[in-house]
Amino acid sequence: MSRTRSVPGPVPKKRGLHHVFAATGYSIGGLRVLWRQEAFRHELLVASVVFLLHALTGVSMVAILAQAICFAILFAAEAINTAIEHIVDHLSPEWSTFAKETKDLGSAAVFCLLVANGGLAVGVWLRVLGLL
């Protein structure tokens, strides 16, 4: 009698509309994970304030669209940074230089996009106020 274990093969890929619905479900799951991150909730709050101030100061739709794209990129970077942190925590539960530097790099990417969003918002407001 053989003692070999049967290893299941790869899960067949979904096609067509089934793929679209599955991908949407995965994205919603990712947004749920992201929502649990305090940093993301802070960024969302800041984005809300920025868009409110844009509306109150009569910022053009082109500038609002540019800001929306910039914030979307920030949120995507925050999602990637969160994924990196989850992977690193899983692979390196103890403190290590590898873990610290990897997390620092993800954080630096988010920081760059925070600065870009802030610079865009301030530049737009200065332009609307005639100071730029």
What does the pLDDT look like over 92-118, one tens digit per residue?
A: 989 899 999 999 999 999 999 999 999
On the question of pLDDT at 2 being above 80, the answer is: no
pLDDT score at 10? 79
* Interval 70-88 mean pLDDT: 97
Question: What pLDDT was estimated at residue 110?
Answer: 98
Instruction: Give dist(CA 85, CA 118) in Å, integer.
Output: 25
- For the ranges 6-10, 39-43, 85-89, 112-116, the lowest mean pLDDT is seen at 6-10
Options 38, 43, 78, 101, the catalytic residue: 78
Residue 7 has pLDDT above 90, yes or no: no
Active site residue 78: yes
Of the pLDDT bands very low, low, confident and very high (cuts 50, 70, 90), residue 5 is low
Which residue do the tokens 């960024």 mark? 43
User: Which pLDDT tens digit goes with each residue over 19-73?
Assistant: 889 999 999 999 999 999 999 999 999 999 999 999 999 999 999 999 999 999 9
Distances (CA, A) of 117 to 1, 57, 73, 105, 120: 66, 17, 10, 19, 5
